Structures are given as structure tokens and as C-alpha cells.
Structure 1
Amino acid sequence: MGATHVVLIRGINVGGNNKVPMAALRSDLGAAGLEDVRTYIQSGNVLVSAPGREPLEVNGLVGDVLRASFGVDTPVVTITAETLRVTVDDAPDGFGASDDYRWDVVFLRETLTVADAYAVVRLRDGVDAVWQGRDVLYFRRSEAQAGKSYLSKIMSTPEYKQMTIRNWRTTTTLAGMLEG
């Protein structure tokens, strides 16, 4: 059947916190009614098949499983497989093409508009750049000055509970997994 949704779970298996074994997560999500559950690395990237379900419905189901099975309450952002494909296809020209920068995609829940997310982004001249996408923000940080980036400032906003960030490599890998 193939994946219909991409689930991005924030803050699991990072620094020994919010431990969620991927094999157990796959099993529990399958038992909860999701099909073809696949994970990528240990940091909360999950492809699932849930035809006919809206992203917010899948989002809620995954959040329920995380709380019930693992005692983890963390933001989850679920997007459709098509949204991920569009995110990769519509990236700004040259996005991800230089090792001089760190390239990130800020994924948003349906409840947060791109304009509202963009409004809380702070940029440091010569270090950060941001572009608005259809359902995401594309963020670039200078590799040489990454410690001076203002990307982390977004984490102190209330809007951050409705978003999660993935690097470009993870984003494109997930998109490739949709096809494979």
C-alpha cells in the first residue's frame, strides 16, 4: 500500500530522555490500527499507512500511544506523504547544496499557519536565512557561525509546541523512503 502519512515526533531518544524503542513503537502503532509502520533512525521519524485519516487524527493516535505505552508526552507533527513530497520539490533553489550551511525544515501542525510560524522567527544578519514554503519554513544557518544562530530562539515561543525541525538530509531521506 505504501505510506500515506509521515509522523515527526519531537524530542525522543535524545540525550537519554524520552526513551522510545523503535521496534516497540512500530508494534504499538500497528496494534493501534496504523499499517506499514516504518521508522528512520531513533529520533522519531515514522512512515505509516492510514488511508482516509486526516493528519490531526493520526497525530492524536500517535500521541496517545506515546503516552500510554512509553509515558512520553511530546509534540507530534503529522503530515501527508504528499506534503512531504511537495516540501522537497518546492524547496528554494540551491537549498541543501552547500556544506557552508546547516539546512533545516520546520514542519508545522495543521493548526499553525506558515505566516504565524514565520512571525516568531528571529534572524541574525549574516548567519540565518528563512523562506516560507507551502506548509513549512526552510531555514539556513551558517556552519561557521552556527552557535550565533537564532534558530533556537523559536523554542521559547508558544508556537513551538505546534512544530518540529528536521535537517535537510533527514527530510530528503524520508521522501525517498516514500518511494521505496
Structure 2
Amino acid sequence: MNTYAVLLRGINVGGKNRVPMADLRRCLETLGFTDVSTLIASGNVVLRADLHPDEIAARIEDGLPESFSFEDALIKVRVLSRDQFHAVVDNKPTGFGEHPETYHNDAIFLMGIDSARAMSVFSPRDGVDKVWPGDGVIYSQRLSSQRTKSRLGQIVGTSEYRSMTIRSWNTTMKLRALLDTVSDGC
């Protein structure tokens, strides 16, 4: 049995598509997954399964609408193995996430698009924003004192944005720790 990080795009955002985490855990267990754990209410899950990541994503994308009513039908799922998730952290740009008092850092996980296509919608503001492509992820850093001048929000109106889900670096690191705990505990 393998342990996976599951990122759900489109739930519990701006009061839409509300999914209580206890209900999400029960739903995922009903779908056949084990050792299901959630982290904060924004669609971060760790679970165990004997399926390929694409099969897990499809099962969840098909199963969620049967258990929950969504205002927006665009619910996407990104599944990463423990090694894939560790690679996102291990391959971060030098210094990324290491100065949270100065910079706000996000991992923007890609769902069905490559980094080159995703990067095309970013237009970082000099002295405020920096973005780097990764394998299945975009690393975004904003100078905290200038966050209101950031251009990161401009990606929201693009069609590519529908294939992205954003996690703060703090959440990413907590999810990695949870992934390790579940992996080590089983």
C-alpha cells in the first residue's frame, strides 16, 4: 500500500463548495481509501491506496459530487506520491521558503498542464514577485511588505488557472510532515 498527498482544487474557497473535513474523510474511506487524514479545511489530504495516482484522482473526482453539492462543478484532484511530494520540496529554488518574515511563498501545483504553459500567465512585478518553474509546480514568492502590489492575482482570470491549486509554503511543509507521519506509521 502506498501513501499519497491529495490536493483538491475548488472546495472551501470563498465560502463556496463547502466540505467539512470529517465528511470528506468519511467519503474518501467509503471510496476505499485507508488511513485518511486531512490538513486544514482547504482540500489537503493524505491517504493510503493500492492504486495508481491517476486512478485515485479519477475515483475522487467522480465520487465527490455523489456525496456533496457543489456550486461550481470544477473540482480537480492532484495526487502525488510521497517521493513526488518530497521532490517538490527538495527541488525548490535556493532560499525559497527560508525567510517567511520577508517573503510570502506559495507552491502552485499544476493539474494537467506543464510548467511552460503555466508560466505563460505569470507577469511578476520587478522587486515584488518572483516565479520559478518546477516539475508539476510553480514556485511563487512575493515580498511581504509589497504584497498588495503583487501581480500573482492576475492569473485568476486565465483559463490556465483552472488547472492550478495554490498552497502556502507553510501548508506545503505541514502536508509533507503529515505525509511522512502516515507513511512511517503504517
TM-score by length of structure 1 reads 0.91
Structure 2 residue 145 is matched with structure 1 residue 147: no
Counterpart of 1:172 in structure 2 is: 173
Whether contact under 8 Å (1:77, 1:163) holds in the other structure is no
Quick one: which amino acid aligns to residue 170 of structure 1?
T
Counterpart of 1:27 in structure 2 is: 26
Whether contact under 8 Å (1:103, 1:141) holds in the other structure is yes
Tell me how large the CA RMSD over aligned residues is: 1.5
**Residues 149-175 of structure 1 deviation map (CA, whole Å, 9 limit, x = unaligned):** 111111111111111000001101111
Unpaired segments ≥5 residues, structure 1: none
Partner Cα separation in structure 1 for residue 76 and residue 161 of structure 2:
9
Quick one: which amino acid aligns to residue 178 of structure 1?
L
Partner Cα separation in structure 2 for residue 168 and residue 152 of structure 1:
17
Matched residue of 2:7: which SS?
strand
Whether contact under 8 Å (2:109, 2:136) holds in the other structure is yes
Quick one: which amino acid aligns to residue 26 of structure 2?
S
Question: Which shifted more, 95-104 or 6-15?
Answer: 6-15
Matched residue of 2:106: which SS?
strand
Q: How many residues align?
A: 177
Structure 2 residue 106 is matched with structure 1 residue 104: yes
**Residues 92-139 of structure 1 deviation map (CA, whole Å, 9 limit, x = unaligned):** 111111111100001012x21111111221111111001111221110
Partner Cα separation in structure 1 for residue 124 and residue 56 of structure 2:
33
Structure 2 residue 63 is matched with structure 1 residue 58: no
Unpaired segments ≥5 residues, structure 2: 182-186
Quick one: which amino acid aligns to residue 144 of structure 1?
S
Report the CA distance shift for 1:52/1:76 in structure 2 as closer, same or farther (over 3 A).
Answer: closer
